[in-house]
Structure 1
């Protein structure tokens, strides 16, 4: 009797884990019942056997069950797809059925009888469930890149991994674009980062790839999500413990490009009864090279000046990140939790710039040498409190999140410029500048989401959110005058920006037999105040409505189509609004624009999915007041800033398909073609029109042999036009191999990015009275060695009753 109870306990855990996995896969509920029976070698029924229904494509567990006294098992509400049945019981070898297909029209599926043969091992051993997901998964509303299965994640940062995701491009300044469009909203574990582009880049560059579970790409979000981001949402999912007991992993890696790099991380998890505690510590040193060549011509009052500039800009970054959280089940329906996270990072750039200036091409009248050292520190503390309450069994639920984030950044910069004649004699005394820039950002947010099924086919979602953001940037500048350092009032300033947003949304979803429709609207009321101390504040207050609509229709078990629409907004980044001036040399600098307006985008997208794997999408978008990066001239000086264009129009077509050639060779192909057109009747005093068709192709090949995985990834982006820039083609090939030892506890990964060292970021412009060419080479060819050791108790344990919190957490993750 005790043995039978043990069987039941272990099998109940299989049921709980399989439910969690199935909801984590965001599987669409179906109405088909799958049943069958088990017998032993003598034809007698096998009772209390563990039975799982798994996906035939990737062996992911969908649901688990026990066979009854007659050896019969059954599964309810199985969605369309191809499946296998796996059965096991102590004393017998595992048995797996032949593949079978569930269609939308299937009412019941009867699986042929499974015969389990006696096994040689009768002792109950540690139960381990392993689900191998493909690198790229296409779901109805998003594309998922399963990072934890990819050897290319080894030793990479989140930014480097993101650059490999389908349709994603990271440019020379770490700006992220999706299907050719900038303005992407980046979330981490379904939560907004509230960071500027520069701060987000710093965070992603200092996030260890081994802590990432998956990257979700949502091109057309519903009204439930914030309206920010005209090209959609990228949601980075970090790993979280799902097993009982105490376990963890230790990762150490080293890499070599132009310079050596290293990274280490520790993940610890503990789950006991109602309590689940998880934490991550990671640190690393990342030094990379960056070479820039800039040729430009300025025209001042009809007199042309030619500049040839060469800069070596190596950068060293050190990061220390932490994350600690806990969930506690107050009741089977009620879970509360918290997450504390933060980082303490630092970086140093030592720039060496040589500039030749002349009145004729290739003839220098003056030579400049600017040496600069920029040291930056970034500190962050963030606290999240969350409450999830499953009100009843019909699917009615309520969730509440409260967030607080504090960022403290500090920049200390030194610039020294020497001026020479071609013969080496001094033109004038050297110029020495100093900058100190303390920056503080404080963020408060609170939101709630409520869902209630009104009928079996109609679901209502409502929610509200409040956010308050305050940034305080203080530029304190000095200049060396005849050996005496004095304050430089002309370059010093303080910029304080305050923004409050109140938002609410409503979604209504209706399910028909083969069609689902969702309509919603989000309202956001914004108040902002940009105050450059000593000048007139720039105040704004505006209320906007953001409708969205989705229609999904299943033609048959292999063909599915969907159509979606949404309206979105992009508010200027904090750095873009800040009118600070950042120098590369006395003739080259960057400054913000306090008068930038938000941009608004209408998005339309059509999707066709074949056999749940091949996806084709067509999209159209139109943006008004498009925020665009510009390079402008003031006399002989050239500076980079941002401005609003009148309109930006985009068309895109994308096809993404996985393929399997043999059992040991599979892969994925992603091709995107897009057109970007730009129009402005008055841009810096010019009538501007430009646009171009472009395409991006990426393929991943995975080879399995001798217990190892080899991945090869190649990508190509054609020449394209973005605003005033003509960007030249970019291409590269990455490769990685991994193998596990010691019963999969120890893993070795060896990878190389840009193995042929051919990835470049080159661009030019002849618009707005500009004439310049930029050639850049970052430190992209990097070899990596990463070692990971998994330790602790990974055995599956369970309480004698099933917690409803697993269903709740699964629905929250999959509820979009």
Structure 2
């Protein structure tokens, strides 16, 4: 572990010294605006050419205020060329460098809109698939042709520093405590089942995914691992247009419809999508040996069986944006999400009681039939008012968003001796609930001068959760389930968060870019559950980022952020899932928030051919670290029922976790046809378990993925993607390694407005074997699950409608096609 970290530090040191030896730091700056409206032109290309050699020496892209700065220039005479889609090219000649200081300010440069009709002309300005920004990594899924099949989980696998296991668990920089947002807003669907929620979003509806590893003070402090923001496609072009996407396969089927309408300053969009994961059988086995310290006997438990699992969901919504004036914008949306999952199966159980000398004392063979269901229906709505002022960058943003979800979970299990047909035991549980969240925020940005901006704001988060558990126990004498009041309960959970922040972005000594801020959050929690009380608490959450941009598109940054992980609905609900009465899972309403302190030292380099590389050293320290924890009980009483030889798993505050790691990610065009993207992360984890008197667990994990895309003639694309994660020690055992891979083929036709794709996932192996071990003071368990992962699929996409080209910022930041039919 020390060697890769040492090499990375050495590389960063060498790069920094090379940059420091640059012979010149002369620069050209200016601002690009629209000659007709006076508005800033974002993302315009600025190139500087030496008038003697006629060679391009450097360039830049304008920011959100239209400002650009080209650095690393030497003395001489240059031409500055400005170009952007929908405008006439413009050149500023005879720019003399080194005559009157280090900086030449060209002031305001106005671009003239073109009047050329583009009905039959395709103009393409494609953004990079991966962008490294000061606080986040952006994966432009809409620009990745083969990302259009599957669901959000499939797209997340390609995002640098993000890992997704075969069960759908997501980690950012090795941390599973990630805050998920859709279009920058939270939703109650993520609090019930994150995997189900991510499996309900079709990949073809995703414009980009932001992995925010160093969130500033403006962001909510929730999520010690950072924030993942899923940005859905929109369309800023005039006219009526839409797209239809269909995908079918051996494991997954989905479809979606997008409709967009825009006339002048008003736009409307609507969508509907549905998906279904077909029923698949998952064989599993458990081999467990436990010790009863009271009488020094042992129990050997063997469970072999299967579960038939399926998942389905659909999403729908409608939204609008209305430019009330040149300075006022109103954005609103309402959507409905519904997803569910179900499983059923049969398990053969063999249990043997062993005496002190290992001789069998008693044995039993049991057959268990079990089933479970879960899901949520949720409605989200939001209204956003944005006010821009005369000064560039001065902005007021008021946002109201709310979400109301009805999570649901149920199970049923019945057991009978293998020699008998009549059940002797069984349990059923049903827990409907409500989850309401409301967010109200006011944000204000004020530029003091160029490169010096102050931001401030306040926010209120209100969350109310209620749940009812109806538990019934099977009575053999009556041959039916009878309500058990001792196990049934009602849960009320009310959380209020009041937050305020102040942050600033400025340049220090014209060398160092600084983004600093602090956020204060007061959390008040009330819970209506027997013998449970949670005191209110305060958190001061600082953030600090230093960065420096060198010539040739290179930068270095050092970041520190503090984050909080509050428990979600699924973590606090004390509902006991008894679908397997030997392995019970439940929630913990007494969970304290986890506090994370994250450090990152990163180097980024972008190449003229579109490639880039990012190297980061990462240190993360979590206090009150939350992890799943398992305890074995020889006897365990729930209500009026007593269970024997039972393991109970819930999430607990373990202690302190230290994570030290190095991450290397990049994208490189090898040829004009072949592009490679890869991501390597090595993490050394050290956990101090206070529940076991400070016991220390060490483990090293490394993850690697590689994506290869090859462009063939006639708009054919081939892609291969592989992902590997090594095994790692946990506080109570070992987590298994994982290897997945897939191949994709896509053909575009009809002016790239239609496409057909073929995909194959793990085509050479039907199952992925997952062996997990758990060790405690009185038992060891080996769990084997054969996950059905092989699949084949086909997808179809068609984009329709008439578009009118609209210039400037109204087009958005993604790549654009102005043709008979458009592209989101």
Q: TM-score, normalised by structure 2?
A: 0.82
Q: Secondary structure at the match of 2:617?
A: strand
Distance 1:81 1:487 in 2: 77
Distance 1:309 1:203 in 2: 31
Match of 2:8 in 1: none
Match of 2:699 in 1: 692
Match of 2:352 in 1: 358
Match of 2:525 in 1: 528
Match of 1:460 in 2: 454
Distance 2:156 2:718 in 1: 20
Distance 2:440 2:222 in 1: 17
Question: Residue 62 and residue 505 in structure 1: after superposition, are their counterparts in 2 closer, same or farther (change >3 A)?
Answer: closer
2:429 maps to 1:431 = no
2:346 maps to 1:386 = no
2:584 maps to 1:589 = yes
Distance 1:346 1:669 in 2: 34
> What are structure 2's unaligned runs of at least 5 residues?
1-32, 74-79, 92-96, 107-115, 635-644, 816-824
Distance 1:749 1:805 in 2: 31
Match of 1:749 in 2: 757
Q: 1:268 aligns with which of 252, 259, 281?
A: 259
Q: Secondary structure at the match of 1:298?
A: strand
Q: 1:737 aligns with which of 742, 745, 748?
A: 745
How far is 1:478 from its partner? 1.5
Please show how residues 339-738 of structure 1 align to structure 2 within 5 Å: 339-359=333-353, 365-420=363-418, 424-425=419-420, 429-481=423-475, 482-512=478-508, 513-532=510-529, 535-611=530-606, 613-635=612-634, 636-683=645-692, 687-706=694-713, 707-738=715-746
Q: 1:206 aligns with which of 200, 204, 207?
A: 200
Distance 1:773 1:249 in 2: 48
How far is 1:134 from its partner? 4.0
Deviates more, 1:670-679 or 1:506-515: 506-515
How far is 1:203 from its partner? 1.4
How far is 1:333 from its partner? 0.9
Question: Residue 105 and residue 531 in structure 1: after superposition, are their counterparts in 2 closer, same or farther (change >3 A)?
Answer: farther
Distance 1:807 1:703 in 2: 28
Deviates more, 1:565-574 or 1:197-206: 197-206
How far is 1:349 from its partner? 1.5
Q: Deviations over 1:674-703 (max 9, x none)?
A: 1111112334xx552101122111111110
Distance 2:42 2:179 in 1: 27
Q: Deviations over 1:238-260 (max 9, x none)?
A: 10112110100001110114xxx
Distance 1:658 1:405 in 2: 38
Q: Secondary structure at the match of 1:365?
A: strand
Q: 1:295 aligns with which of 287, 309, 312?
A: 287
How far is 1:149 from its partner? 2.8
Q: Deviations over 1:738-783 (max 9, x none)?
A: 1111111111111122233364433212244341112223232221
Q: Deviations over 1:234-292 (max 9, x none)?
A: 111110112110100001110114xxx32110001111011011111011222253333
Distance 2:795 2:124 in 1: 22
Deviates more, 1:341-350 or 1:222-231: 341-350
Question: Residue 183 and residue 648 in structure 1: after superposition, are their counterparts in 2 closer, same or farther (change >3 A)?
Answer: same
Contact 1:254 1:785 in 2 (8 A): yes
Distance 1:285 1:577 in 2: 29
Distance 2:604 2:172 in 1: 20
Question: Residue 600 and residue 396 in structure 1: after superposition, are their counterparts in 2 closer, same or farther (change >3 A)?
Answer: same
Distance 2:120 2:168 in 1: 45
Aligned residues: 731
Deviates more, 1:233-242 or 1:124-133: 124-133
Distance 2:38 2:230 in 1: 22
Distance 2:36 2:348 in 1: 66
How far is 1:652 from its partner? 1.1
Q: Deviations over 1:583-612 (max 9, x none)?
A: 232212101112211111111110111236
Q: Deviations over 1:599-633 (max 9, x none)?
A: 11111110111236211100111111100111221
Q: 1:144 aligns with which of 125, 130, 138?
A: 138
How far is 1:785 from its partner? 0.7
Q: TM-score, normalised by structure 1?
A: 0.82
2:328 maps to 1:328 = no
Deviates more, 1:483-492 or 1:728-737: 483-492
Distance 1:227 1:740 in 2: 43
Match of 1:285 in 2: 276
Question: Residue 781 and residue 582 in structure 1: after superposition, are their counterparts in 2 closer, same or farther (change >3 A)?
Answer: same
Contact 1:247 1:269 in 2 (8 A): yes
How far is 1:200 from its partner? 2.4
Distance 2:144 2:484 in 1: 51
Runs ≥4 in structure 1, deviation > 6 angstroms? 12-21, 61-64, 80-90, 102-106, 361-364, 804-810
Please show how residues 733-812 of structure 1 align to structure 2 within 5 Å: 733-757=741-765, 759-797=768-806
Question: Residue 739 and residue 108 in structure 1: after superposition, are their counterparts in 2 closer, same or farther (change >3 A)?
Answer: farther
Distance 1:681 1:797 in 2: 61
Contact 1:309 1:355 in 2 (8 A): yes
How far is 1:369 from its partner? 1.9
Distance 1:137 1:760 in 2: 35
Match of 1:42 in 2: none
Distance 1:597 1:560 in 2: 38
How far is 1:195 from its partner? 4.9
Distance 1:444 1:674 in 2: 37
Deviates more, 1:359-368 or 1:313-322: 359-368
Distance 2:337 2:712 in 1: 39
Contact 1:337 1:387 in 2 (8 A): yes
Question: Residue 36 and residue 322 in structure 1: after superposition, are their counterparts in 2 closer, same or farther (change >3 A)?
Answer: farther
Q: Secondary structure at the match of 1:682?
A: helix
How far is 1:105 from its partner? 7.7
Contact 1:126 1:796 in 2 (8 A): no
Q: Secondary structure at the match of 1:282?
A: strand
Deviates more, 1:79-88 or 1:541-550: 79-88
Q: Deviations over 1:625-656 (max 9, x none)?
A: 10011122111111221111121111010111
Distance 1:203 1:744 in 2: 30
How far is 1:519 from its partner? 1.3
